[in-house]
Amino acid sequence: MKYKNFSDFEPNKPAKVGVLITNLGTPAAPTKAELKKYLKQFLSDPRIVEAPRLLWWLVLNGVILNFRPARSAKAYQGVWTEQGSPLLVHTQAQQQKIAEKLNMDFGDKVVVEYAMRYGEPSVTATLDKLFEQGARQLLVLPLYPQYSATTTASTFDAIAQDFTQRRLLPDFKFISHYHDNPAYIQALADKVRAHWAQHGRADKLIFSYHGIPKRYVTNGDPYQAECYQTSALVADNLGLAENEFLTTFQSRFGREEWLKPYTDQTLKALPAKGVKSVQVICPGFSADCIETIEEIDEENREYFIEAGGETFEYIPALNADAQHIEMLVGLIKDNLKAWIN
Query: What are the pLDDT digits (tens) for 149-194?
Result: 999 999 999 999 999 999 999 999 999 999 999 999 999 999 999 9
pLDDT in tens, 290-319: 999 999 999 999 999 999 999 999 999 999
Domains of the chain: total: 2
Q: Please state which of the ranges 180-184, 240-244, 253-257, 262-266 shows the lowest mean pLDDT.
A: 253-257
Q: Average pLDDT, stretch 4-29? A: 82
Q: Is the pLDDT confidence value at 73 over 90?
A: yes
Q: What angle do CA 236, 237, 242 make, to 5 degrees?
A: 25
89 lies in which domain range? Answer: 16-178+323-336
Looking at the structure, tell me whether residues 123 and 208 fall in a common domain.
Answer: no
Looking at the structure, tell me whether residues 230 and 173 fall in a common domain.
Answer: no
Looking at the structure, tell me whether residues 136 and 262 fall in a common domain.
Answer: no
Residue 7 lies in a domain: no
Residue 124 CA neighbour count, 13 Å, CB half: 13
Please give the Cα distance from 155 to 172 (Å, whole number): 14
Looking at the structure, tell me whether residues 155 and 299 fall in a common domain.
Answer: no
Check residue 15 and give its pLDDT: 84
Looking at the structure, tell me whether residues 93 and 189 fall in a common domain.
Answer: no
Q: Which helix (H) or strand (E) holds 124?
A: helix 123-132
User: Residue 326 corresponds to which amino acid?
Assistant: E
- 4 pLDDT band, cuts 50/70/90, is confident
Residue 107 lies in a domain: yes
Q: Is the pLDDT confidence value at 8 over 70?
A: no
Is residue 111 within 8 Å of 129, Cβ to Cβ? no
Looking at the structure, tell me whether residues 31 and 158 fall in a common domain.
Answer: yes
Residue 308 lies in a domain: yes
- 7 pLDDT band, cuts 50/70/90, is low
Q: Is the pLDDT confidence value at 91 over 80?
A: yes
Looking at the structure, tell me whether residues 20 and 147 fall in a common domain.
Answer: yes
Looking at the structure, tell me whether residues 109 and 216 fall in a common domain.
Answer: no
Residue 341 lies in a domain: no
Q: What ranges make up the beta strands (E) of the chain? A: 16-26, 110-119, 135-142, 171-174, 204-210, 245-250, 277-281, 311-315
The CATH number linked to 141 is 3.40.50.1400
